[in-house]
Chain A
Amino acid sequence: MNTGSTEAVEQPSQGDPPVVPAHLSRKLMLGAIGLTMVVLVVTLVLALRWQSQPFPGFVVEQTLVVGGYRGQGWGRDTGRLPDHPERVEAIAGEEVTTIGEFHATLKRRVPGEEISVKTVSPDGTRRLYRVTVRPCLPVSDRLRLFWLPWAVGLAYLGIGLWVYALQGDTRAGRAFMLFCLFTSLSNGLIFDLISTHVFTAVWAFSVAQTGAALISLALLFPQPWAVVRRRPWLSLLPYGVSALLAQWELLALNRYASPWAYIPAWRAGYLFAGFGVLVLVATMWYRLRSAQRPIERQQALVILAGAVIAFTPLLVWFVRPLLDIAIRLETIHVSLPLLAFPIAIALAILRYHLWDLDLIINRTLIYGVLIMILGGTFLATVFGMQLAFQRLTGQRSPMAVAISTLLIAVLFDPLRQRIKAFIDRRFYRERYDAAQMLTMFAATVRNEVELHQLSDRLCESVTGALHPAHVATWVRMPEGFVPYDPLDCSSGADVSVAALGEQSAVALDDPLVDYLTEEDAPVMVDDVPFSSPGVRVFADSRTYIGHETELLVPLVCQSKLVGWLALGLLLSGRPYTANDRAVLRHLAMQAGPAIRVAQLVREREREAVERERIKQELAVARVVQETLLPRHLPLVSGWDLAVHWEPARAVGGDFYDFLLSDQGELFIVMADVSDKGIPAALVMASARAIFRGLARWRVEPAQALRRANELLRPELPPGMFVTCFYGLLEIRTGRFRFANAGHNPPFLQHAGGTSELWASGMPLGWMDEVAYDEHERIIGRGDLLSFYSDGLTESHNPEGEMFDLDRLERALKGDYESASELVEALWRALQDFAGPGWNQEDDVTLAVLRRLPAEVPAGENAPGEELLTTFEIQSELGNERVAMEKVEKAVRPVLTSDAEVEAVKTAVAEAVMNAIEHGNGLRVELPVIVDVLVTAGDLVIRIADQGLGRGVPAATVPDLDAKLEGRQSPRGWGLFLIREMVDDVETKLEDGRHILELRVRLDNGKR
């Protein structure tokens, strides 16, 4: 419950500004408490004695003025008894001038005796009454006039003691205690005022002081106003006023000469108390309106409601004489509601967990049992001893009460200890306390290396122990100190770090960091002796999630600040005590290293994640690069092609490309970027694009390399270059034209032996305007053309020897049935040479092109085979029409009728659609390769895809009736149509590719 942003924040580090020295104030308080207890106990004894004395049917005040109290059957209403404000002059014929004489005279009467009472009114009228002396005060009147106000007084004393025990070190706590003491006396002594008159002066004093205590409380409770903090003596000012009032009252009370003089003095006292009530209610109202947090408003509301209920009757009681209102107010009407105020405070405390609930229940149990036992003992001893005295002496004796009280006093403390021990043992085996909290947290720390969990546990522990308005763990991160998962205790919801904004991070070099590291103990934000951006994050209440941060607890490990706890005000409104801070410090000593460990674990995890991410990215890069390389070598009829590509790292600088033109030419590119890894791969990607373009435009080899050099040179970083062999093969004739930009020349194995295909030229990217030689060879049937990169010939074995050309040439010698056989042989040769655990230094590319010998067995490679066309299309629906058109152009010369052409077109379209949709899964980057050839009197069309849909079972034969009746899907006509349109359909798997081969028989003479 504070009144503003910072002004209500206490300065507990310095304690309350001492108006009275702390030890003196404590002694004074304890003295006042002790005195009040004694007075209340003595009052009880006196009241019990007085109640059993003869009672004349009316009561008098100190100055013998008849009190305005009425009782059951007293007879005042009928005028048979003297009434306020008459003054008793004589009783039973004896003149009385002091209250002592009155009591002494009355004591000598016996019950049932009729006596005369002579009174005088303020106007001088004298009256004579005859009253019958009763044996004692009727029981109902005892309850109403004595027990009830006395019990309320006792309750106030109890609540005052409780609050004092918890908040005795704050001024608000002391003010509340004083208020409770005076209220307790004002209530407890009401009966004495009209009976024995022993404590009249004390009562008069207390009423006046109640007003002062209320004003003081309004100034200090629950947090002192700013003005009072600056001028602490202000809170004592009301006591000065009340002391003067009390002085006046005391003087008036003993002036028998003017018996009515006390009345205005008392009224002044009442008015002052009434004023105090008004001030308290008004300040509570103000605090209710200005409180910022909902919980504060609720607390203020509850306390305000309690104050209004409690003090309204009292106010009327106080103001009544002044305004002369004719309201009959009994003590019961005033005393009972008075309890509402302390109850409201208790409610506010209990409901909002201002203090630990366990502790309250614990104490309630202990003292409840204690009071029951002590009360029982007291009553039993009083009763027993009075019986004993009556037997012995024949009369009742006040000794019984005195001895019993003494007994209780002696018994109190040992009994309390016993009960406390018993209740703790019975109900609170795991009683909460700070040590326990520390132990529990320490246990958590040992098992927890997850920063998030650890931070949660830490916040929970602090919240459970101290109930701060909020608590957050700030931890060191690479970018600065940031709040980690702040826990808003008042709402119970997590406030996301993102919501805090950037300004809530504290830089690693902020002076606050050094300050906290050095202090290594809880620090009040207000005590930080400088201002820095970091300090302002906490000092300005609006910066940090609208909460005020009160206390920073550094978390230090090995002289390094790993973070801190930021705690808000305590919900109870009390300041952090030395004990709280000691607990927090111990907690921090355990939490610091734990957080450091968690941070290290986290960093390791992050690094691992980062490494994994780079690995993943490289893996992706490799996949990307592999897609840049021809996934599947073109099917070239009459030729056999095989490649092995092995980058030294995840990605490499070697690359190759084979492109088939519509004119029956095969473009061959073998290249090597002078680097490895990612940089090489990036250059390779752009080089590949350039070569693709050149091949598409069917640029001749020497010209192609010259242009490539022009295009690549500005793109290459200094020192990087690309070697490249560029060849153009006429498929039908075997004519091979080539140029070379510094790449290893390929080996050609032909009938006459092995030769290198030499052509000179500078690597690409070295210099401008380079010219390249172009050479030509005919590759005969059965010849092998072997390409390799320097990764092969320059590989080393563990002995440091190089693979070199001799080994390559030896490996080339041999009888190889196919291109892939030779490639495998070369790769194996390298592996054997390098041995196990080979550390591949450079990318290796091996490619072998073999022209099939003339005398191949029957089949697609039989003599007379002719490739009509071969092309690739992208896997996008609609592209099947492109395939249709290309196939139509190729097959029209060999087919006689339009019907046949149309049928082939439909079959191709359906086959290509299947390849696009199922074989390649609609992935645009995957090609569908179509070869159209005539072989052995058949038109063969091969449609190749990547075989992704291989597992898909063949559709059932479509049946229109079944479809119309819903027993089959309306779709599923594709394969059916293909089968109907051509003579033969065959599916094949080759090198992981799925090939659908359509065959149309060409009748003799049709060509």
Chain B
Amino acid sequence: MPSAKVTMDVRHVAPRVSVVDIQGEMNAFAEDELMVAYREAVDHGAETLILNFGPTTYINSSGIGLLVTLLIRANRQGHRLFAYGLSDHYRRVFRLTKLNEAIRVYDDEAKAVAGAEALTSGAASTVGAT
């Protein structure tokens, strides 16, 4: 039976910044996990959600659709989405889909957190963003 082959751990790395480690497959079955993770981060006061795609094995078009859904929700509620840990292939996919224009993609977690904190502190910064 098809089911979710993904786990998402939420880490609260800084005030108003949470990291979601996406471990496994980012496909249609990941929806519940993703939305729970988002809710948890937001409930903890996160304004910036950093998606860690490092441990992600597979992203398909449904997974991209999910990210778009999450993006719509985050935009509506005034939250930001960042990402890091994407393989070259999925960076390409992000570029092709223009997702990288809506989700800032960083090389690693430190840069992503720094970028997030810079933004929360008010200074519009694109440090480390690619």
| Distance in angstroms between the alpha carbons of A445 and B28 in the assembled complex | 64
**Contact string, A875-891, partner B, CB cutoff 8 A, digits 1/0?**
01110110010000000
Q: In the docked arrangement, what's the CA distance between A876 and B60, Å?
A: 15
CB of A963 within 8 A of CB of B68, answer: yes
Whether the pair B96, A910 counts as a contact (CB closer than 8 A) is no
Q: Is B64 among interface residues, defined by CB-CB distance under 8 A?
A: yes
B 86-125 contacts with A by CB, 8 A: 87-89, 92-93, 96-99, 101-102
A771 to B103 alpha-carbon distance, docked (Å): 69
Check B36 for interface membership: any CB of A closer than 8 A: no
**Smallest CB gap from A905: residue in B:** B89
Per the 8 Å Cβ criterion, residues 237-253 of A in contact with B are none
A899 on interface, CB distance cutoff 8 Å: yes
Question: Which A-chain residue is minimally distant from B69 (CB atoms)?
Answer: A970
Q: Tally A residues with Cβ within 8 Å of B.
A: 29
Most interface-central of A877, A903, A972, A974 (chain B CB within 10 A): A877
Q: Is the CB of B72 within 8 A of A903?
A: no
A-contact bits for B59-80, CB 8 A (1 contact / 0 none):
0111011101101100100000
Q: Name the distance in Å between B74's Cβ and chain A's nearest Cβ.
A: 10
Contact B72 A963 (CB under 8 A): yes
Interchain CB contact under 8 A, B98 and A899 = no
Do B89 and A906 have beta carbons less than 8 Å apart?
yes
Alpha-carbon distance A877/B25, docked complex (angstroms): 13
- Of A876, A898, A970, A977, the most chain B CB neighbours within 10 A belong to A970
Contact of B102 among A964, A966, A972, A974 (CB under 8 A): A964
- CB-CB < 8 A to B71: which residues of A? 964
* List of A residues within 8 angstroms of B92 by Cβ: 899, 903
Chain A positions 704-755 with a Cβ under 8 Å from a chain B Cβ: none
* Neighbour of B61 across the interface among A878, A881, A903, A910, CB < 8 A: A910
How far, in whole Å, are A960 and B87 apart by their CA atoms in the complex?
Answer: 21
When chains A and B are docked, how far (Å) is the Cα of A960 from the Cα of B72? 10
Indicate if A391 sits at the interface (CB-CB under 8 A): no
> Which of A878, A903, A964 meets B68, CB within 8 Å?
A964
A876 to B2, CA, bound (A): 7
Contact A881 B97 (CB under 8 A): no
A974 adjacent to B61 (CB under 8 Å): yes
Cα-based distance from A909 to B66 in the complex (angstroms): 17
Asked if A881 and B58 make an inter-chain contact with CB atoms under 8 angstroms apart, the answer reads yes
Q: Do B75 and A972 touch (CB < 8 A)?
A: no
Residues of B within 8 A of A976 (CB): 61, 96-97
User: B73: shortest Cβ distance to chain A, in Å?
Assistant: 10
Given A902-B89, A906-B60, A913-B60; A973-B97 close (CB under 8 Å): yes
Chain B residues whose CB sits within 8 angstroms of the CB of A877 once the complex forms: 2, 27-29
Q: What is the number of residues of chain B that contact chain A, defined by CB distance less than 8 Å? A: 29
Distance of A966 Cα from B68 Cα, bound (Å): 10
| Bound Cα distance A958, B102 (Å) | 15
A518 within 8 Å of B (CB atoms): no
> Which positions 260-312 of chain A face chain B at CB distance < 8 Å?
none
A880 to B75, CA, bound (A): 32
From known contacts A877-B28, A899-B89, A980-B96, infer whether A973 and B61 are also in contact, taking CB-CB under 8 Å.
Answer: yes
Query: In the complex the two chains form, is A906's CB within 8 Å of B93's CB?
Result: yes
Cα–Cα distance between A961 and B101 once the two chains are bound (Å) = 10
Among B2, B66, B98, contact of A960 (Cβ-Cβ < 8 Å)? B98
Chain A contact surface mostly:
helix
Residue from B25, B64, B96, B98 having most chain A Cβ neighbours under 10 A: B64
Cα–Cα distance between A913 and B25 once the two chains are bound (Å): 14
Interface centre among A958, A960, A976, A977 (most CB of B within 10 A): A960
Residue of A whose beta carbon sits closest to that of B71: A964
In residues 889-911 of chain A, which contact B (Cβ within 8 Å)?
Answer: 898-899, 902-903, 906, 909-910
Answer whether residue A971 sits at the interface, using C-beta atoms and an 8 A cutoff.
Answer: yes
Bound form: Cα–Cα A980–B89 in Å: 12
Q: In the bound complex, do residue A977 and residue B68 qualify as a contact, i.e. CB atoms below 8 Å apart?
A: no
On chain B, the residues within 8 Å of A964 by CB distance are 68, 71-72, 75, 102
Contact A966 B61, beta carbon cutoff 8 Å? no
Determine which of B5, B28, B60, B66 lies in contact with A910 in the assembled complex, contact meaning CB atoms within 8 Å.
Answer: B60
Given known pairs A960-B101, A964-B75, the reply for A972 and B65 (CB within 8 Å) is yes
A906-B89, A906-B93 given; A977·B61 CB < 8 A:
yes
Chain B neighbourhood of A913, CB < 8 A: 60-62
Q: In the complex, what distance in Å separates the CA atom of A532 from the CA atom of B9?
A: 77
A960-B98, A977-B96, A980-B96 are contacts. A970–B68 as well, Cβ < 8 Å?
yes
Q: How far is the CA of A273 from the CA of B99 in the complex (A)?
A: 107
In Å, the complex CA distance between A873 and B21 comes to: 31
Q: How far does the Cβ of A895 sit from chain B's closest Cβ, in whole Å?
A: 13
**Cα(A598)–Cα(B71), bound, Å:** 68
Q: A968 to nearest B CB, angstroms?
A: 9
Cα-based distance from A739 to B11 in the complex (angstroms): 65
Least CB distance from A902 to B in Å reads: 4
Contact A960 B88 (CB under 8 A): no
A964–B81 Cα gap in the complex (Å)? Answer: 13
- For the complex, what is the distance from the CA of A881 to the CA of B61, rounded to whole Å? 13
A814 to chain B, nearest CB (A): 50
Across the interface, which residues of B come within 8 angstroms of A971, CB to CB? Answer: 61-62, 65, 68
Give which listed residue, B5, B64, B87, contacts A973 with CB less than 8 A. B64
A877 to B3, CA, bound (A): 9
CB distance from A904 to the nearest CB of B (A): 11
Report A970 CB to chain B, min CB distance, Å. Answer: 4
Chain A positions within 8 Å of B99 at CB level: 960
Contact B2 A878 (CB under 8 A): yes
A914 CB to nearest B CB, Å: 9
Give every chain B residue within 8 A of A960 (Cβ-Cβ): 68, 97-99, 101-102
User: Nearest chain B CB to A908's CB is how many angstroms away?
Assistant: 11
Nearest Cβ on chain B to A981's Cβ, whole angstroms = 9
Chain B, 28-77, CB within 8 A of any chain A CB: 28-29, 58, 60-62, 64-66, 68-69, 71-72, 75
- Compute how far the CA of A1007 lies from the CA of B29 in the bound complex, rounded to whole angstroms: 38
Within 8 Å CB of B72, what residues of A?
A: 963-964, 966, 970
In Å, the complex CA distance between A877 and B60 comes to 12
Kindly provide the distance from the CB of A75 to the nearest chain B CB, expressed in whole angstroms.
106
Whether the Cβ atoms of B88 and A977 lie closer than 8 Å is: no
Partner of B97, one of A903, A910, A958: A958
Q: How far is the CA of A52 from the CA of B53 in the complex (A)?
A: 125
Which residues of A933-975 have CB atoms within 8 Å of chain B's CB atoms?
Answer: 958, 960-961, 963-964, 966, 969-974
Residues of A within 8 A of B27 (CB): 877-878
Report the nearest B residue to A966, measured CB to CB: B72
B45 to chain A, nearest CB (A): 24
Q: In this complex, what residue of A is CB-closest to B95? A: A980
Q: Look across to chain B and name the residue whose beta carbon is closest to the beta carbon of A881.
A: B58
- Chain B positions within 8 Å of A970 at CB level: 65-66, 68-69, 72
Residues in chain A near residue B75, CB distance under 8 A: 964
State in angstroms the CA–CA spacing of A910 and B93 once bound together: 13
Tell me, rounded to whole Å, the shortest Cβ–Cβ distance linking B127 to chain A. Answer: 24
Q: Which residue of B lies closest to A900 (CB)?
A: B89
Q: Which residue of A lies closest to B25 (CB)?
A: A881
State how many angstroms separate the Cβ of B32 from the closest Cβ of chain A: 15
For residue B19, give the distance in angstroms from its CB to the closest CB of chain A. Answer: 23
CA distance A964 to B75 in the complex (A): 8
| Shortest CB distance B48–A (Å) | 18
Sample of 17 further A-B pairs with CB below 8 A, known A876-B2, A909-B58:
A877-B2, A877-B28, A878-B29, A881-B58, A898-B89, A899-B89, A899-B92, A960-B101, A961-B98, A964-B71, A964-B75, A966-B72, A969-B65, A970-B66, A973-B61, A977-B61, A980-B96
A selection of 9 A-B contacts at a CB cut-off of 8 Å is A878-B2, A878-B5, A878-B29, A899-B89, A960-B97, A960-B102, A963-B68, A963-B72, A973-B65
Interface of A toward B, CB cutoff 8 Å: 876-878, 880-881, 884, 898-899, 902-903, 906, 909-910, 913, 958, 960-961, 963-964, 966, 969-974, 976-977, 980
- Which residues of B line the A interface, CB within 8 A? 2, 5, 25, 27-29, 58, 60-62, 64-66, 68-69, 71-72, 75, 87-89, 92-93, 96-99, 101-102
Sort A-B residue pairs by CB-CB distance and give the 3 closest, nearest first.
Answer: A971-B65, A973-B61, A970-B68
